[in-house]
C-alpha cells in the first residue's frame, strides 16, 4: 500500500489504455475497470475515493442507465482504494495547517538533505485532501517516514543500476553486486534468502524429472534452504551460462525491480519485455525494450507469463505463475517451471526438426506467432533453431479469438480448455473407478460461473477436465476448489500490509455462493511451509481417492474463468468457442516423464519415482460452516476497523 503512494508521483507509473467504448462502456467486471481507463467515471470519483458516497448524487443529468453507472462507480472506487492508500486524518487540535506541520516535521524523520525533504513535500502534495478531523499527526509522520525510506532506497538502487548498466566486464558487475547486497543489509532489507551466484544448477538437477519450483518466502526462513524454493536471481544464475539477452512476456512488470534481479544475479540485462501493465516507465533505458500488448477483445487480458533466456549455446524457457514485480516474489506461493537447456540444432537440420515427443516446440512457436509482432521475429527465428527433444511436458495456451467446431475447423482444439481436454483424452489412463478421482482446482481468483454448477462448470469445464481413456460421461467426478478463506488472509503475511493477489469480489460470490460453497476447500500448505502465504498459482489436477497419487498436473496462468478458458456460443452455421485472454501453461502427464500412469505425491512410490511437488496439503480441508472465501472488499472492512497507530 505504501509503495503505491510513492509510486503515484511518477516513479512507478501504471500504463492504462483508454477504454474504446468511452462513455458507452457497459462493463462492470472489476478486471476491465482496473485494466482500462474510464475518465468519465474517474472524474466523478475525484477526491471521493475514501469517502462514503451516495452514488446517486454523483450521476450526471444525462445518465441513461443509472443502475449500470452506480455499479461501475462502486467497483472502481474499490479498485482505486486499493491503489491509493488513505492517509490518516488529524484531530481538531492539530488540523489548522496539517501539511505545513508535516513539512516542518521532516527534520525529525532522518532526512539528511534538502533533496530528500523535497521528495517528502512532493509526496504530500499527491495525497488526498486531509478532511477527516480524526487525523493523527504522529501516524502520518510514520507513514511519510516509511514512504521516504522507500523513495530513498529507490534512489540508491537507481544509482547502482545505472552504474551496473555501464559495466564493461563481469568483474565490474560482480563488484557492484557485492555493493548492492551491502546496501540492502544497511537499509534493513532481508537478504538471508538470497544465494551465492553459480550454484543453482545443482539445485536444478536435483529437481529432475519435474523441474518444478516454488518461490522462496522472504518472511519464512524455513523455505530459504528448501531444494525446490528459488528466488528470481537464481533463475538468472550464471551456472546456466552467461545470458546474452532475455525475453519476458508477462501481465504486470516493474522494470526497476526486474533490472535489480539481474544485478543480484551478476548478469547483463538486455531484454525485450511484453507487458499489459507497466511500472517505472521513468527509468526505461536502452537495455530494455518494452512493448504493450493490447488484448484483441474488449473484456480480455494479456495474462501469460513466459520468460526465455538466451545463451551462446542455446536457451531456457521459464514459466512462472508470478508477475514481474516485487510483491509477487516476496511472500506469495508461486510456481515456476524451468526447461532443460535447449541447445542449437546442427546447421543441416530444418527449423521443424528437434521437437519433443509432446510437440512442445510446434505449440510454443505457434503461440509466439499469434502475437503478430515484428519485435518477436528474431526471437521466433532463434526459437526455431533450438532442439526441444529434452522437454517432456506439453505447452497449453489460450489465444483470444472465435474458433469453430472441429467438424468445420480443427482450430477449436488448438487453444484453451479443449486443447487440454484433447491431451488428457489421448494420454491419461485411469482405473475403472475414475469417477472416484476428483478434479482439484486451485487458483488466485474465481470467475463468474452463473446461477448453477451446470451452467458452466458442469456443462463445459468438468467434462473436459475429466477426459481420459476411460471417460464415462454418465459418471462425473467431484470438483474440489481450493481458495483462501478470510481467516486464511487474517493469518497471512499480507494482512499487515493490506495487500492481496486475490481479486475475487463479493458481488460475484453473492450470485453463486449457494452452490459454489459446497465445492470450496481451505488453503493449507503446512507441508512446504507456506500456510501463511496467499496463493497466486493456478493449478489443476486429478487426485486419487487415497490422496497418494495424481493422474496429471496442469500449471498455468489461467484462473478458472470463461475469459481464460473459453466458452461456447452458437452461430448461424456452427458452434463457436470464444476465448478472451492470452494464457500459457504446462501440462505434466506421467507416461512422458516417468513412464507410469500416475505421479506419486508425498513420498516416493515403490519404483522409486520421486513425488510430484504439490503446492497445497492433502487430504483437502473443506470450508467450515462459517467460513467465507476471501474477497477484495474484505480489505476495506479491515481498514475501516483498524484504529490509527499511536
Tell me the three cell numbers of residue 392: 517432456
305 annotated ligand-binding residue: yes
Report whether 521 contacts 558 (CB < 8 A): no
Report whether 396 contacts 306 (CB < 8 A): no
Of the candidates 334, 228, 322, 220, the one whose C-alpha atom is nearest the C-alpha of residue 611 is: 228
Torsion of CA 105, 109, 113, 117, to 10 degrees: -50
Of the candidates 570, 559, 624, 507, the one whose C-alpha atom is nearest the C-alpha of residue 28 is: 507
Whole-angstrom distance, CA of residue 316 vs CA of residue 310: 7
Q: What angle do CA 195, 201, 204 make, to 5 degrees?
A: 95
404 annotated ligand-binding residue: no
Whole-angstrom distance, CA of residue 499 vs CA of residue 115: 30
Whole-angstrom distance, CA of residue 65 vs CA of residue 49: 22
Per-residue burial over 249-261, b if 16 or more Cβ lie within 10 Å, else e, is: bbbbbbbbbbbbb
Specify the DSSP element, H or E, that contains 440. Answer: strand 439-442
> Would you call 147 helix, strand, or coil by DSSP?
helix
Whole-angstrom distance, CA of residue 146 vs CA of residue 584: 37
Report whether 567 contacts 639 (CB < 8 A): no
| 508: CB partners within 8 A, 6+ apart | 446, 447, 448
Report whether 456 contacts 433 (CB < 8 A): no
φ, ψ for residue 588, nearest 5 deg: -105, 120
Which one-letter DSSP state was computed for residue 629? B
Give me the half-sphere count of Cα atoms (radius 13 Å) on the Cβ side of residue 232: 24
Specify the DSSP element, H or E, that contains 16. Answer: none
Which one-letter DSSP state was computed for residue 107? G
| 424: CB partners within 8 A, 6+ apart | 464, 465, 467, 468, 552, 589
Report whether 156 contacts 183 (CB < 8 A): yes
How many other C-beta atoms are found inside a 10 Å radius of the C-beta of residue 434? 20
Per-residue burial over 175-209, b if 16 or more Cβ lie within 10 Å, else e, is: ebbeebeeebeeeeeeeebbbebeebeebbeebee
Could you list the active site residues? 303, 536
Report whether 331 contacts 215 (CB < 8 A): no
Report whether 485 contacts 502 (CB < 8 A): no
| 297: CB partners within 8 A, 6+ apart | 400, 578, 580
Tell me the three cell numbers of residue 319: 514459466
Q: What is the DSSP string of 432-467?
A: TTGGGS-EEEE-SSB----SSGGGTIIIIIHHHHT-
Annotated binding site: 305, 538
Binding site membership for substrate: which residues?
305, 538
Amino acid at each position: 500500500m505504501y509503495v503505491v503512494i510513492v509510486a503515484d508521483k511518477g516513479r512507478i507509473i501504471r500504463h492504462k489504455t483508454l477504454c474504446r467504448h468511452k462513455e458507452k462502456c457497459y462493463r462492470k467486471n472489476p478486471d476491465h475497470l482496473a485494466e482500462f481507463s474510464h475518465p468519465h467515471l474517474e472524474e466523478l470519483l475525484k477526491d471521493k475515493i475514501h469517502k462514503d458516497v451516495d452514488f446517486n448524487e454523483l450521476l450526471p443529468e444525462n445518465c441513461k442507465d443509472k443502475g449500470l453507472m452506480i455499479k461501475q462507480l462502486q467497483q472502481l472506487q474499490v479498485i482505486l482504494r486499493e491503489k491509493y492508500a488513505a492517509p490518516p486524518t488529524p484531530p481538531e487540535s492539530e488540523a489548522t495547517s496539517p501539511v505545513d506541520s508535516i513539512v516542518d516535521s521532516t527534520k525529525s524523520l532522518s532526512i539528511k538533505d534538502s533533496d530528500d525533504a523535497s521528495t517528502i513535500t512532493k509526496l504530500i502534495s499527491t495525497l488526498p485532501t486531509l478532511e477527516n478531523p480524526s487525523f493523527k499527526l504522529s501516524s502520518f509522520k510514520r507513514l511519510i517516514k516509511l514512504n521516504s525510506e522507500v523513495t530513498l532506497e529507490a534512489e540508491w538502487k537507481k544509482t547502482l543500476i545505472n552504474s551496473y548498466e555501464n559495466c564493461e566486464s563481469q568483474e565490474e558487475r560482480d563488484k557492484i553486486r557485492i555493493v548492492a547486497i551491502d546496501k540492502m543489509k544497511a537499509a534493513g532489507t532481508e537478504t538471508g534468502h538470497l544465494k551465492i551466484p553459480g550454484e543453482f544448477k545443482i539445485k536444478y538437477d536435483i529437481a529432475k524429472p519435474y523441474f518444478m519450483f516454488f518461490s522462496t518466502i522472504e518472511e519464512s526462513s524455513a523455505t530459504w534452504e528448501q531444494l525446490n524454493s528459488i528466488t528470481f536471481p537464481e533463475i538468472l544464475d550464471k551456472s546456466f551460462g552467461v545470458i546474452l539477452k532475455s525475453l519476458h512476456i508477462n501481465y504486470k512488470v516493474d522494470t526497476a525491480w526486474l533490472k535489480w534481479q539481474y544485478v543480484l544475479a551478476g548478469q547483463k540485462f538486455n531484454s525485450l519485455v511484453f507487458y499489459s501493465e507497466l511500472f517505472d516507465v521513468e527509468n526505461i533505458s536502452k537495455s530494455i525494450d518494452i512493448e504493450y500488448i493490447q488484448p484483441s477483445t474488449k473484456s480480455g487480458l494479456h495474462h501469460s507469463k513466459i520468460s526465455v533466456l538466451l545463451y551462446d549455446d542455446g536457451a531456457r524457457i521459464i514459466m512462472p505463475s508470478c508477475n514481474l514485480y516485487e510483491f509477487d516474489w516476496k511472500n506469495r506461493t508461486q510456481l515456476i517451471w524451468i526447461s532443460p537447456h535447449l541447445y542449437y540444432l546442427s546447421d543441416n537440420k530444418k527449423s521443424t526438426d528437434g521437437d519433443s515427443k509432446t510437440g512442445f516446440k510446434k505449440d510454443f512457436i505457434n503461440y509466439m506467432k499469434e502475437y503478430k509482432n515484428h519485435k518477436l521475429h528474431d526471437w521466433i527465428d532463434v526459437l526455431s533453431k533450438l532442439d526441444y527433444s529434452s522437454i517432456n511436458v506439453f505447452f497449453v495456451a489460450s489465444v483470444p479469438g472465435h474458433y469453430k467446431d472441429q467438424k468445420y475447423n480443427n482450430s477449436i482444439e488448438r487453444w484453451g480448455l479443449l486443447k487440454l481436454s484433447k491431451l488428457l483424452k489421448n494420454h491419461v489412463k485411469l482405473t475403472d473407478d475414475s469417477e472416484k478421482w476428483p478434479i482439484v482446482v486451485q487458483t488466485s481468483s474465481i470467475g463468474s460461473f452463473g446461477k448453477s454448477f451446470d451452467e458452466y462448470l458442469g456443462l463445459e469445464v468438468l467434462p473436459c477436465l475429466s477426459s481420459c481413456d476411460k471417460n464415462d460421461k454418465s459418471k462425473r467426478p467431484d470438483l474440489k476448489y481450493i481458495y483462501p478463506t478470510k481467516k486464511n488472509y487474517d493469518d497471512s503475511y499480507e494482512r499487515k500490509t493490506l495487500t492481496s493477489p486475490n481479486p475475487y469480489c463479493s458481488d460475484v460470490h453473492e450470485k453463486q455462493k449457494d452452490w459454489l460453497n459446497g465445492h470450496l476447500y481451505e488453503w493449507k500448505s503446512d507441508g512446504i511451509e507456506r500456510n501463511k502465504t496467499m496463493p497466486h498459482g493456478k493449478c489443476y489436477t486429478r487426485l486419487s481417492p487415497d490422496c497418494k497419487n495424481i493422474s496429471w498436473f496442469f500449471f498455468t496462468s489461467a484462473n478458472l474463468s470463461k475469459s481464460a478458458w473459453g466458452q461456447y456460443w452458437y452461430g448461424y452455421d456452427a458452434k463457436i468457442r470464444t476465448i478472451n485472454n492470452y494464457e500459457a501453461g504446462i501440462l505434466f502427464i506421467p507416461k512422458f516423464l516417468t513412464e507410469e500412469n500416475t505421479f506419486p505425491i508425498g513420498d516416493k512410490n515403490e519404483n522409486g519415482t520421486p513425488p510430484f511437488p504439490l503446492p497445497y496439503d492433502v487430504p483437502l480441508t473443506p470450508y467450515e460452516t462459517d467460513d467465507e472465501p476471501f474477497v477484495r472488499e474484505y480489505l476495506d472492512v479491515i481498514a475501516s476497523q483498524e484504529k490509527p497507530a499511536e
